[in-house]
Structure 1
Amino acid sequence: MIDIARQLTTVYREVGPDPSGEALGVLLRRRYPAPAAEVFAALTDPDRLGRWYRAVAGDLRAGGDFTLAGGPGGRILQCEPPQRLRLTWGAEPATVDIRLGTDESGEVVLELEHVLGAEPAATALSVGPGWDVRLLALDRFLRGEHTDDPTGWKGSEDVQRFAQHAISAWAAAVSASGIAAEDDLTGARTAALARYAPDVTT
């Protein structure tokens, strides 16, 4: 059973323009009680990725191309173990930039920035909750609680209920950004619930 309240508060969420000011970005920050090298390996080793995210094929080095089973592909733009992984995500100019650091307690701080392109702010609800679920899956993997079927786990009722609350958290982040109309946010919330929590949404 997922401790939804605790898991929601472990993630910092932010929505706004990317550094160029020309594209929408979503930012997540979460701590992990594991060495940076172990977290980085979970992000870049195909066997480990397949146990918490999904199967991946390709060359996971700088300049290499990759494809995720049933998902987007892309190109590795930067791979600097164990601090940074930056890649294209599906259609350009979308990118994902993952940065790892260590806080004063020795825990790894993972910061993930997904730049979506010139999209409305409410679009954050189409990707933010998905990253919440994946960062939760990464936490479970690092704690030795992973499953043999990451896709099935993602579709479980427990995870869908977590996703419901993550959608609300992202809606709050979009509202706090001040760059989205409430009408757009309502429609985006409905679409996100249909995508991430179809079996538990009434």
Structure 2
Amino acid sequence: MSPIPTGRLFPTGTGTDLVLSRTFRAPAEDVWASITESDRTARWFGPWEGEAAPGRTIKVQMAFEEQAPWFEMRIDACDPPRRLALSTSDASGDWRLELLLSEADGSTELRFVQHLAGEDGVGEIGPGWEYYLDLLVAARDGSPAPDFADYYPSMKDHFEAQATRG
């Protein structure tokens, strides 16, 4: 399989937004459950534990990564079933994410946004999110899980070519 990269970079006043989207033939509430309920996030990203609410921190497992590490993630905003904003910090920097849902005519678009301070590493970050969002698609429709080797390094140039690098 050779997935086609869909992610785009958009300059902002404070950096760059990496934006990817997927469309599902399902109501927003059902897609929302896939991105917020631990038993369902476990199918495509990893489970989470803790008391979820805006301003609170939960522990999330990256179940599809080597050694399946756990990390802390802060819930910055939660407006069901439309917007979830999350943030975390690790050795590679600060990660600010938004998952935005919009429903029309029986379909729901999920727009995933990572707010980047700079574009370093976008050649790795972009393919990673393409992979995870396709894992979400596979988990929802029961198709086989994608293989990360089909995403990286083949998609790296797609994302690096969009970087402005001033």
TM-score normalized by structure 1? Answer: 0.67
Q: CA RMSD in A?
A: 2.4
The within-5 A match list for 1:40-189 is 40-69=32-61, 70-91=69-90, 93-103=94-104, 105-117=105-117, 119=118, 121-145=119-143, 159-164=147-152, 167-177=153-163, 179-180=164-165
Identify, as 1 or 2, the structure richer in strand: 2
Look up the match of 1:13.
7
| Distance of 1:34 and 1:106 partners within structure 2 | 6
Distance in 2 (CA, whole Å) between partners of 1:99 and 1:59 is 21
Residue pair 1:96, 1:114 contacting (<8 A) in 2 also: yes
C-alpha offsets along residues 8-50 of structure 1, whole Å, 9 cap, x if unaligned? 2xx6311243x3x222331111112222111111111111111
Relative to total residues, which structure has the larger helix share, 1 or 2?
1
Give unpaired runs (5+ residues) of structure 1. Answer: 147-152, 182-202
Return 5+ residue gaps in structure 2 as ranges: 62-68
Aligned 8 A contact 1:46 1:57 in 2: yes
- Name the count of aligned residue pairs: 157
* Aligned-residue offset at 1:139: 0.6
Contact 1:12 1:30 in 2 (8 A): no
